[in-house]
Amino acid sequence: MSTAKEWSNPSAIDYYSQNRHEISDLYPSETVFLPRVLFPGAKVLDVGCASGGFFNIMRSYEPNIEYTGIDLSERAVELAISRYPEARFLVTEGFGLPFEDDSFDIVHCTSVFNNEPNYQEMLQEMYRVSNRFVLTDIRLLKGLGKQRESIYNIQFNGKAVEATVPYVVNDADEVAEFILQLKPKPKALRGTGYFHQVAKEAAEADTPNEDVCMTVLLLQKGDLYGGPTTLDLKDLPIEFSVSEK
Ligand SMILES: C[S@@+](CC[C@H](N)C(=O)[O-])C[C@H]1O[C@@H](n2cnc3c(N)ncnc32)[C@H](O)[C@@H]1O
């Protein structure tokens, strides 16, 4: 299901044009990997870029990057182009990316999988077009068994918005196992994060009001002849059952 209409709602557009565009707007967990993976000349793809705030954040860390942002909301992309004409923005879905294999050094995607049930297809595409890193966030619980999806009304700055989107939490081991079977096998999977209550508006809907693990994952793409995947998930407050293979 496309949520283009929901994310084009004027309150959503307005929120992302005023927030999430400075380093100080980031959650601490979002500042762990991003500055470490950026390097001069890096080709970056930002999936679900909204009005381009992460272009400004990334160039604050590393001014010399070649940035492409994609979003399914035409209105968000129009605003991104007018704010940052020096970057490249396209209206397109995270599924079936219009790029060759290995086109980008870093594929970045934040605050998308918490509203996108089909994370697997999108993550696989992001991995395909990356030649080095995929950096993304996802909400996890241990022992959930299968993905949990509920529906909630998005709110910005405390104001209810007439836009209903899925709220998605995934099983921690299932996500790790999915990543470990990607081809070519990842060189490394690293994570950081913390438990936090689900968004208030989701808790008011039919989502159980409990803490979920706000997880940031860094995948390092391997090559055809790679050895076992290095797992570095100790910084997450979840014990994973997967092992290096
Ligand atoms: C919650 S906002 C996050 C914006 C930004 N990444 C951030 O973290 O501040 C989600 C954005 O992702 C876009 N989006 C959601 N699903 C998408 C998909 N399947 N493909 C491309 N963009 C998507 C929405 O249009 C929206 O602009």
Residue 108 corresponds to which tokens in the numbers above?
A: 């970045």
Share of the chain above pLDDT 90, in %: 73
Closest ligand 1 atom, residue 6 Cα: 25
How distant, in Å, are the alpha carbons of 47, 68, 244 from that of 40?
20, 15, 31
Average confidence (pLDDT) over 6-32: 92
Q: What does the alpha-carbon distance between residue 144 and residue 177 come to, in Å, rounded to a whole number?
A: 14
pTM of the model: 0.96
pLDDT in tens, 35-45: 999 999 999 99
Question: Quick one: pLDDT at residue 239?
Answer: 94
- Please count the CA atoms within 13 angstroms of the CA of 4 that sit on its side-chain side: 12
Residue 92 corresponds to which tokens in the numbers above?
A: 């397109």
Q: What does the alpha-carbon distance between residue 168 and residue 161 come to, in Å, rounded to a whole number?
A: 19
Atom 16 (ligand 1) nearest CA: 112
Domains and CATH numbers, the chain: 4-235 (3.40.50.150)
Residues with CB under 6 A from ligand 1: 3, 7, 16, 20, 47-50, 53-54, 70-73, 76, 93-94, 110-112, 116
Q: CB count, 10 Å around CB of 103?
A: 16
- Gap from CA of 176 to ligand 1 centroid (Å): 22
Cβ contacts of 82 within 8 Å, gap of 6 or more:
none
Atom 2 (ligand 1) nearest CA: 111
Question: Quick one: pLDDT at residue 72?
Answer: 95
The confidence band for 245, taking pLDDT boundaries of 50, 70 and 90, is: low
Lowest mean pLDDT among 133-137, 164-168, 210-214, 218-222: 164-168
